């Protein structure tokens, strides 16, 4: 009897080709479109109208001759993703809704719906690969980078569990994007030349302040420029003998007060800004662009630095709290007091950087060989061994 796969048809070329490849491999394929968002007042023009995407997904299913239906998950999306986003921004952190969407919606709520439809697996159009290894009596699923280095999306799946991976297929993970488009053209799929969707998972490109203003009201405050000569930057090369002290020191964020710099402008709410941001400050007349180096939502102050090499943007390390550490490969978990040399990234599309992870009773420290720009609280750090993503956590 054929194995059944429910494909998350998004109306894009990647999921369309994923469905085609599974059919070709002999699976019993069903296409499901997830409707997760209703409010188009915050989206930019027609960047991601769900109605068009749903229609394209239906036409692809028709062309492939597979059953198709739409499921409305907007209530779950509001509760699990949107409310979480508002809460994080309000606390001055910058969430990653795409990672949460994969963990909480696509590979949880959606997976459960698929299993009720008798599915053996769910499949998506992610550019990553899955493998399996046997260790003694146990099987472990591996989450591997996609073959296309420019499209590798393993980072977005960094919170998946062994249980979720066991029920998941990634049919296009071994292909380049150009090959995926070629297959779509050859098969006459309507999505062959469709642009990749941008912006938030299922919402599309949004005017972030407009989106956040639904719950977080504008509140005028100062923009303070911190000079490169700020005292707090002078002690970066201190030789701290005790490892734990050194880890905490390398991961410590810089702390500023308004007295450390000069007021250069006014903003409409510190919770609308994130570290490393350059646009939207509305401060002109500087010799180099200003970058956000920190935000203080309690005092409603944005701290900025001149130029992309400003020392306030850079840190050697970060901390993940104990309850926010996630091991995709639980068998590779390190114990308290142990360390492991890994490759790591703190954002999508960032090249993997050499780092060492240390587990302590304070949490897991990730210390990079080279300082990293705009390490941002609320975002996710993921760590790899070669091309396998083995764990991740929320930057505290």
Counting residues of the chain whose pLDDT is more than 90, the rounded percentage is 70
> What is the set of active-site residues?
101, 201
Provide mean pLDDT across the span 74-82.
Answer: 87
Q: Which long-range contacts (CB under 8 A, 24 or more apart) does 242-247 make?
A: 243/358, 244/360, 244/362, 247/317, 247/358, 247/360, 247/365, 247/367
Residue span(s) of the chain under CATH 3.40.50.620 come to: 4-125+171-212
Tell me the mean pLDDT in the region 120-149: 96
Q: What is the pLDDT of residues 344-373, one digit of tens each?
A: 999 998 999 999 999 999 999 999 999 999
Q: What's residue 74's pLDDT?
A: 86
Range(s) within the chain of domains with CATH label 2.30.30? 221-240+255-308
Provide the pLDDT for residue 39: 57
Q: At the topology level of CATH, where does 221-240+255-308 sit?
A: SH3 type barrels. (2.30.30)
CATH homologous superfamily of 314-394: Translation factors (2.40.30.10)
Query: Quick one: average pLDDT of 54-77?
Result: 92
Query: What's the pLDDT at 238?
Result: 42
> Tens digit of pLDDT for each residue in 16-57?
999 999 999 999 999 999 987 655 555 544 554 667 888 899
Per-residue confidence (pLDDT) for residue 136, from 0 to 100: 86
pLDDT tens-digit map of 204-213: 555 666 677 7
Say which residue, 51 or 177, is predicted with more confidence.
177
- Contact (Cβ atoms closer than 8 angstroms) between residue 379 and residue 396: no
What is the spatial distance between Cα 384 and Cα 386, in angstroms, rounded to a whole number? Answer: 6
What's the pLDDT tens digit per position in 283-338?
988 999 999 999 999 999 999 999 999 999 999 999 999 999 999 999 999 999 99
Q: Is the pLDDT of residue 111 over 70?
A: yes
Rounded to two decimals, the pTM is 0.89
Residues of the chain with CATH 2.40.30.10: 314-394
- At the top level of CATH, which class does the domain 4-125+171-212 belong to? alpha beta
Q: What is the mean pLDDT of the chain?
A: 90
- Of the pLDDT bands very low, low, confident and very high (cuts 50, 70, 90), residue 86 is confident
Given the structure tokens 């909480």, which residue do they identify?
104
Is the predicted pLDDT of residue 375 greater than 80, yes or no?
Answer: yes
- Torsion angle of the four alpha carbons 187, 191, 192, 193, in this order, in degrees rounded to the nearest 10: 160
């Amino acid at each position: 009897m054929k194995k059944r796969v429910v494909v998350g048809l998004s109306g894009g070329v990647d999921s369309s080709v994923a469905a085609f490849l599974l059919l070709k491999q002999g699976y019993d394929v069903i296409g499901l479109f997830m409707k997760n968002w209703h409010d188009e007042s915050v989206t930019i023009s027609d960047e991601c109208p769900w109605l068009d995407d749903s229609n394209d997904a239906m036409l692809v299913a028709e062309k492939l001759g597979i059953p198709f239906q739409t499921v409305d998950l907007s209530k779950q999306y509001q509760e699990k993703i949107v409310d979480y986003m508002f809460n994080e921004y309000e606390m001055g952190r910058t969430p990653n809704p795409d990672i949460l969407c994969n963990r909480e919606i696509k590979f949880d709520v959606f997976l459960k719906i698929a299993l009720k439809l008798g599915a053996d697996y769910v499949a998506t159009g992610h550019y990553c690969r899955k493998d399996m290894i046997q260790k003694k009596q146990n099987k472990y699923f591996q989450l591997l980078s996609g073959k296309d280095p420019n499209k590798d999306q393993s980072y977005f799946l960094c919170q998946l569990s062994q249980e979720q991976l066991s029920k998941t297929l990634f049919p296009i993970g071994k292909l380049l994007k150009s090959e995926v488009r070629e297959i779509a053209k050859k098969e006459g799929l309507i999505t062959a030349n469709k642009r990749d969707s941008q912006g938030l998972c299922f919402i599309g490109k949004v005017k972030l302040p407009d989106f956040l203003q639904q719950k977080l009201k504008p509140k005028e405050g100062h923009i303070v420029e911190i000079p490169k000569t700020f005292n707090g930057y002078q002690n970066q090369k201190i030789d701290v003998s005790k490892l734990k002290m050194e880890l905490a020191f390398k991961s410590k964020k810089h702390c500023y007060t308004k007295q450390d710099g000069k007021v250069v402008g006014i903003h409409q709410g510190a919770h609308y800004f994130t570290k490393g941001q350059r646009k939207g400050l509305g401060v002109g007349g500087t010799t180099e662009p200003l970058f956000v180096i920190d935000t203080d939502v309690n005092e409603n102050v944005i701290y900025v630095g001149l130029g992309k090499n400003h020392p306030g943007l850079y840190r050697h390390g970060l901390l993940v709290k104990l309850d926010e550490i996630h091991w995709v490969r639980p068998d590779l978990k390190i114990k308290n007091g142990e360390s492991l040399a890994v490759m790591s990234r703190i954002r999508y599309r960032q090249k993997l950087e050499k780092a060492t992870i240390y587990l302590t009773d304070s949490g897991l420290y990730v210390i990079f060989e080279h300082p990293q720009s705009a390490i941002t609280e609320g975002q996710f750090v993921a760590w790899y061994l070669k091309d396998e993503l083995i764990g991740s956590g929320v930057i505290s």
